């Protein structure tokens, strides 16, 4: 039995952490607060997938209780990632105080969400679908939908920012234009992944989550293309 979601999610974790490492290297040169937010998004996003997906590959495949605990922890890091992605455009716009307040609100909601996940905790459910092993997290539908809305807003705001930046740079700075378009397209894929994983499939069904995980991978690879663009040109 193959864990498609677990394997693809682990690849997502590795790509996210690789992007975070690249951003950290450039962050040490500029100490840009906006770049720091972007870096922390990919760092926490990578940790999210380590807990959510990689845990399924290393933990016993008959222990839904333990995997369920890792799933609960994973969402704490997912909301940290979402918070930094949502505050990123505000930092770019020079609205530092608004960015800090938004981060605080998301963090408070994250704590409440974690507490509710503990209250409504149930072991993850093991499913076998066409020879694919899938561990489905079990928690209230409304909590999945709310997570999807948060993720959708975060992805849409960041994607719009990059695409507008790329459009403004056309004919002026081809390198920055292409980088921005790659970043905008990549973060834009997170919008569709959020819709599929949390809103279109509020019960967490395998087919939607598997497709969303693959869309995230495509998005991450696009972002990586944008982040590493100058290195490839050199």
Residue pLDDT, tens place only, 71-116: 999 999 999 999 998 888 888 778 889 889 999 999 999 999 999 9
Q: Is residue 183 predicted with pLDDT exceeding 80?
A: yes
Domains annotated for the chain, with CATH where assigned, are: 4-229 (1.20.1070.10)
Output the pTM of the full model. Answer: 0.89
Residues 6+ apart with CB under 8 A from 131: 1, 2
pLDDT class of 134 with cuts at 50, 70, 90: confident
Share above pLDDT 70 across residues of the chain, in percent, rounded to a whole number: 96
pLDDT of residue 52: 94
pLDDT class of 230 with cuts at 50, 70, 90: very low
Whole-number mean pLDDT of the chain? 87
Return the residue matching tokens 């598997």: 210
pLDDT of residue 1: 53
């Amino acid at each position: 039995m193959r864990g498609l979601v677990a394997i693809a999610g682990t690849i997502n974790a590795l790509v996210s952490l690789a992007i975070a490492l690249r951003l950290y290297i450039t962050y040490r040169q500029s100490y840009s607060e906006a770049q720091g937010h972007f870096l922390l998004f990919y760092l926490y996003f990578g940790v999210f997938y380590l807990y959510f997906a990689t845990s399924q590959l290393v933990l016993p495949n008959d222990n839904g209780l333990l995997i369920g605990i890792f799933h609960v922890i994973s969402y704490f890091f997912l909301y940290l990632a979402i918070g930094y992605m949502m505050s990123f455009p505000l930092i770019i716009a020079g609205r530092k105080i608004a960015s800090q307040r938004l981060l605080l609100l998301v963090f408070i909601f994250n704590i409440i969400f974690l507490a509710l996940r503990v209250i409504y905790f149930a072991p993850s459910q093991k499913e076998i679908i066409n020879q694919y092993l899938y561990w489905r997290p079990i928690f209230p539908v409304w909590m999945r939908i709310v997570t999807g809305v948060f993720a959708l807003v975060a992805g849409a705001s960041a994607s719009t920012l990059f695409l507008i930046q790329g459009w403004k740079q056309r004919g002026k700075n081809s390198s920055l234009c292409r980088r921005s378009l790659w970043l905008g397209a990549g973060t834009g894929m997170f919008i569709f992944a959020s819709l599929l994983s949390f809103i279109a499939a509020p019960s967490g069904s395998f087919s939607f989550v598997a497709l969303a995980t693959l869309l995230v991978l495509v998005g991450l690879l696009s972002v990586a293309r944008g982040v590493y663009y100058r290195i490839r040109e050199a």
